[in-house]
Structure formats: structure tokens, C-alpha cells
Amino acid sequence: AIQLTQSPSSLSASVGDRVTITCRASRGFSSGLAWYQQKPEKAPKLLIYDAVSLESGVPSRFSGGGSGTVFTLTISSLQPEDFATYYCQQYHDYPLTFGGGTKVEIK
């Protein structure tokens, strides 16, 4: 199984900050990587698919990058509504796997 390790597990940031979350895979693949945002008591929301494609309706301040074993989610200018937990997921191969999550908190 492809294991995904997210870093950091949590971070504190201010409105307007640039934030980057990293997802490292135990073996490489070219795409098949998604990023989700989850707020308390809500279902996860898809932000990025195929590693770099922005889901329709998602603000352009979110971007995805990387391939192989290192993938990133970047928020160019953090907004108040972005404080949440973020997960990466690989769907390149079964079993599908998620990262451990990154909680983004207000500094």
C-alpha cells in the first residue's frame, strides 16, 4: 500500500500568510493525488485532483503541485474561512490511502 505522510501535522498562521502543506508518498506516482478541506462537523470538500487540477468553484488561492513522491498544497493568501483540516489522498492504486491530516489554526 502507498503510505502518505503529511507535514506539518498542524500549523498556526495569520490571515494573508502563504501556507504550504506537504504530502510524501512511500512510492512514487505521477498523478492520482487529491487534496480535501474538512471543517468540524462537515463532510470533506475536494480542492485539488490529479495533483494539480483545481476543482470547479474552488478559489484560485489554492494550488497543487508535485509528482513522484512529494506533493504540495499551497494557499497563497490565507483567508478566515480557510482555517480547517486538510487531507491528501492517493487514488493511483488500491488500497486508496489518506494522509494523517494537517490542521491549520489561527495565530
Q: Is 87 in the site for another protein (CB under 8 A)?
A: yes
Q: Is 71 in the site for another protein (CB under 8 A)?
A: no
Q: Is 64 in the site for another protein (CB under 8 A)?
A: no
Question: Between 17 and 97, whose beta carbon lies closer to another protein?
Answer: 97
- Binds another protein by CB under 8 A, chosen from 50, 70, 77, 106: 50
The strand ranges marked E within 30-61 are 33-38, 45-49, 53-54
- CA-nearest of 31, 21, 27, 30 to 4 is 27
- CA-nearest of 84, 96, 78 to 36 is 84
- CA-nearest of 36, 30, 69, 77 to 50 is 30
Q: What is the signed CA dihedral for 65, 79, 61, 82, rounded to 10 degrees?
A: 50
- Binds another protein by CB under 8 A, chosen from 25, 34, 73, 75: 34
- Binds another protein by CB under 8 A, chosen from 2, 49, 66, 78: 49
Site residues (vs another protein, CB under 8 A): 34, 36, 38, 43-46, 49-50, 55, 87, 89, 91, 94-101
